[in-house]
Chain A
Amino acid sequence: MKSVPLGVFIIMALAAPAFGQMLQAAEGVTARDTPLDAGSSITLTWQPSPDEAGRKVQVLAYEVWRATRAAGEYERLGEVESGKENYEFTDEEAENGVEYFYKVRARGERMSTDAAPAGPVKATAEWFHPDRLNMLVASVVLAAFVLYFISQARAGKELFIRRIAGLEAVQEAVGRATEMGKPVLYVPGIADIDDIQTIAAVTILGRVATMIAEYDAALLVPCSRSLVMSTAQEVVKEAYLEAGRPDAYRRENVRYLTDDQFGYVAGVDGIMLREKPAANFYLGTFYAESLILAETGHSVGAIQIAGTAMPSQLPFFIAACDYTLIGEELFAASAYLSREPRLLGSLVGQDLGKVIILISIIVGVVTAFLAQFGFELFGRSIALEQLFVVK
């Protein structure tokens, strides 16, 4: 009789290593509403099972399961492969306001072990991004300046606008084309109409087209986007109408070429070499094609005015064109050319915003410099650089 328990004991002792290799659960499972989002999202984080680090039993993956009650029926959402120091899984299909519980299951080759359920947690939509408060304040202040000066301009106050050489040259360029009997080529960049630089380019096109219609020169506008073409056609048509020359408007001169970047370049270069325009305008968003266009324009002897807010392309335009509108000047051009007081008022507001940023930079540099030497106020470093960090 005594031999039976002894036998069981021996068998258990022999099998102990196998039983001892139970897969351990993932550790530190937390579930929280995904911060600063539009809701419908819960983020889970956890650390690996101790077995993964110890390599006793191989953990293949961690499965994520979800239920609306801790002891309820869980549904599988997905899995994350093992082999990381920290794990994260985002449930993008949570319903706002509903309480959820989550289980993380460590899955091995032959067995799986669940961690204790995490929750309850609810997904909610955030109504304000606190890290962007500085941006909001800056935008509101700048908008206030612009609106104030627009109201001043409306009231008839005389506003000083600094001279922009590139825009003063627009009339000269159009006049030259008229005298030479050659067309004006206007390239509105290669971006679509949702790009603010393209919008700026199209608004400038309206002013330039009015001038061209008055001078009775020809205007060519090759576009790389259909929507830009449609908008440009309307703008040019209205400009000719306003100039009292609707008969001179040629719809086919505002044409679509191709969306392909270098196909468009080849098309515009072809137009330049065939039509030999007397004046070329390159205004809007440009990439690698900027120098190819500008150098081809230079080779046909055209007076060239370029403008973009792409810092990497500006050196090319400056090297190859007669005048270049740098960054903000592109956005100021339409208002500048129109000379309309309301539009000019916005430019003054913009300039004032620039002055404030300049002062902030100087204050920031000085305080950061002082902070380096341990200058402190009320026990805190007075460096303002943290205020300007955009997250």
Chain B
Amino acid sequence: MRREIPMIVAFVAGVTIILEFFVPALRDVASQIQKWYLVVIAFAILVGAFNLLRINYMKIRYRRADWPYSFALIAGLFAMAIIGIGWGIKEGTVFDWLFNYLIFPMSSTVFALLAFFVASAAYRAFRARTVDATLLLVAAVVVMLGQVPIGSAWVPAWWPDSLVFLTPDWLKDRIMNIFNTAGQRAILIGASLGVVSTSLRILLGIERSYLGEE
């Protein structure tokens, strides 16, 4: 029964959600299932918080490597929880201040790293060692020139319409709207088929490894 019940739940919930797409009358039932899922998520947050506390507490207790970071994590977790529960989380509260001036800037800092990583990844990917990489490099340069004002600034006013296909703007539009869009759609079509196939395997109980069963 440990396997059968989750499989039955997965089957009933999955089939209902799929049918709801075609049968509007099932919308309320599907919406109810989604609400139950939200309730499960709400309780699961406690499981995650407990796991976080347990692992970091053990690190502090046995003075494992980098244990001060675990201490900072637990202190931060409790501080935010106590401040949030005690004084509320509305605008102007201490919680709000901590979020805006501590957590948000830290998140932004990590996000900002992306700019440097784009540069390093682009350097490796665009080294023109193969035909593929060269094509990638040329396409990227054209698209980048087409995206920025300076890319079209060199095109003089008298540039003939018959030669418009040589301007970065024109080329960028073609690369993005034709080649890039076609590629993305191909990926999405393939992925959609994969979703259908995976869903069927799960609903029919053929794929059970997500239940911890091979």
Residues of A within 8 A of B (CB): 36-39, 125-129, 132, 135-136, 139, 142-143, 146-147, 150, 192, 194, 196, 199-200, 202-203, 206-207, 210, 223, 225-227, 229-231, 234-235, 237-239, 242, 252, 255-263, 265-266, 274, 288, 291-292, 294-296, 309, 311, 314, 316, 318-320, 326-332, 334-335, 338, 342-343, 346-347, 349-350, 353-354, 357
Describe A's contact surface by its main secondary structure: helix
12 contacts between A and B (CB under 8 A): A127-B25, A128-B22, A129-B21, A196-B199, A227-B44, A262-B106, A288-B114, A292-B113, A316-B121, A330-B191, A334-B207, A354-B189
For B58, the closest partner residue in chain A by CB is A252
Residues of B within 8 Å of A223, CB to CB, are 48
Residues of A within 8 Å of B120, CB to CB, are 295
Interchain CB contact under 8 A, A331 and B24: no
Interchain CB contact under 8 A, A206 and B212: yes
Query: Which of A39, A135, A202, A227 is most buried by chain B, counting CB atoms within 10 A of its CB?
Result: A227
Interchain CB contact under 8 A, B25 and A126: yes
Of residues 18 through 55 on chain B, the ones whose CB sits less than 8 Å from some CB of chain A are: 21-28, 37, 40-41, 44-49, 51-52, 54-55
Bound state CA distance, A235 and B208, in angstroms?
Answer: 10
Given contacts A206-B209, A226-B48, A335-B201, contact A357 B21 (CB under 8 A): no
Residues of B within 8 Å of A239, CB to CB, are 214
**Size of interface on B: residues with Cβ below 8 Å to A:** 64
Residues of A within 8 Å of B121, CB to CB, are 291, 294-295, 316, 319-320
Interchain CB contact under 8 A, A36 and B24: yes
The reply on B206 being an interface residue by CB < 8 A is yes
Residues of A within 8 Å of B55, CB to CB, are 252, 255
Given contacts A38-B25, A309-B194, contact A231 B210 (CB under 8 A): yes
Residues of A within 8 Å of B28, CB to CB, are 38
Q: Which single member of A129, A225, A266 contacts B24 (CB below 8 Å)?
A: A129
Of residues 44 through 87 on chain B, the ones whose CB sits less than 8 Å from some CB of chain A are: 44-49, 51-52, 54-55, 58, 65-66
The reply on B179 being an interface residue by CB < 8 A is no
Bound state CA distance, A273 and B191, in angstroms?
Answer: 33
Interchain CB contact under 8 A, B25 and A235: no
Given contacts A36-B24, A346-B206, A354-B193, contact A235 B212 (CB under 8 A): yes
Interchain CB contact under 8 A, B198 and A196: yes
The reply on B202 being an interface residue by CB < 8 A is yes
Interchain CB contact under 8 A, A314 and B187: yes
Residues of B within 8 Å of A127, CB to CB, are 23-25
Given contacts A225-B48, A235-B210, contact A350 B111 (CB under 8 A): no
The reply on B118 being an interface residue by CB < 8 A is yes
Interchain CB contact under 8 A, B188 and A327: yes
Q: How far is the CB of B48 from chain A (nearest CB, A)?
A: 3
Bound state CA distance, A288 and B117, in angstroms?
Answer: 11
For A226, the closest partner residue in chain B by CB is B48
Bound state CA distance, A150 and B118, in angstroms?
Answer: 43
Bound state CA distance, A62 and B56, in angstroms?
Answer: 60
The reply on B145 being an interface residue by CB < 8 A is no
Residues of B within 8 Å of A231, CB to CB, are 210
Interface string of B180-214 (1 = CB under 8 A from A): 00011001111101111111111000110111111
Interface string of B108-119 (1 = CB under 8 A from A): 101101100110
The reply on B122 being an interface residue by CB < 8 A is yes
Interchain CB contact under 8 A, B193 and A199: no
The reply on B124 being an interface residue by CB < 8 A is yes
The reply on B164 being an interface residue by CB < 8 A is no
